[in-house]
Amino acid sequence: MTILDILKKKIVSDDTETEKTVTVAPAQKKSAQKIESKHIEKVDTKKTKTVQQKTTTLRNILQNPRVTEKAAVLAEKNAYTFEVDPRSTKLEIARAVKLIYKVEPVRVNIIKQQAKKVVFRGKRGTRKAVKKAIVFLKVGDKIDFI
C-alpha cells in the first residue's frame, strides 16, 4: 500500500507544478523580449568574425598547384590544376582562386584520387588520397606560379 501512496503523491505534485508554470509564463514574456534584443546585438558581432574566418579558410583550400607535363599542356588551354583540401567543393575552390589570383574562373572540375596500398622494403603502407581541381579560365586570363 505504501507504494501506491508514493505514486499518488507524485501525481498530485505534478498538477501543482503545471499551475505554477502557467502563472509564471506571462511574466517571462517581457524578459524574453529584452533577451532577444540583446541576442540580436550579439549576433551582429558574430557575423563579422565569420566573414574573416571564411577568408582564411578559402586561403587553405588551395594547397599547391600541380606542376606536371600534363598540367603544362592544360595551362596552354587556360586550364590550371591544383591540389585542394579533400573537403572542399567546386564553389569554394572557385572563390579561393578568385580571392588569391584575382581571376574569375569559368568552371571547375574535380578529380578524386583514392589512397593506394603500397609495400616498400617489406613494410605495408598507403599513399595519401589526393583531391585535384582543374580550374578553367576565360581566354586571355593567366595564372603565374613562379
Mean pLDDT by 10 residues, the chain (146 residues): 66 52 52 58 58 71 93 94 94 94 95 95 94 95 82
pLDDT at 90: 95
Q: What is the pLDDT of residues 121-135, one digit of tens each?
A: 999 999 999 999 999
pTM, entire model: 0.59
Do residues 82 and 63 touch, judged by C-beta distance below 8 A?
Answer: yes
- Residue 77's contacts (CB-CB under 8 Å, 6 or more residues apart) are none
Q: Which domains does the chain have, with CATH numbers?
A: 1-146 (3.30.70.330)
pLDDT at 22: 47
Do residues 60 and 85 touch, judged by C-beta distance below 8 A?
Answer: yes
Q: What is the pLDDT of residues 56-82, one digit of tens each?
A: 688 899 999 999 999 999 999 999 999
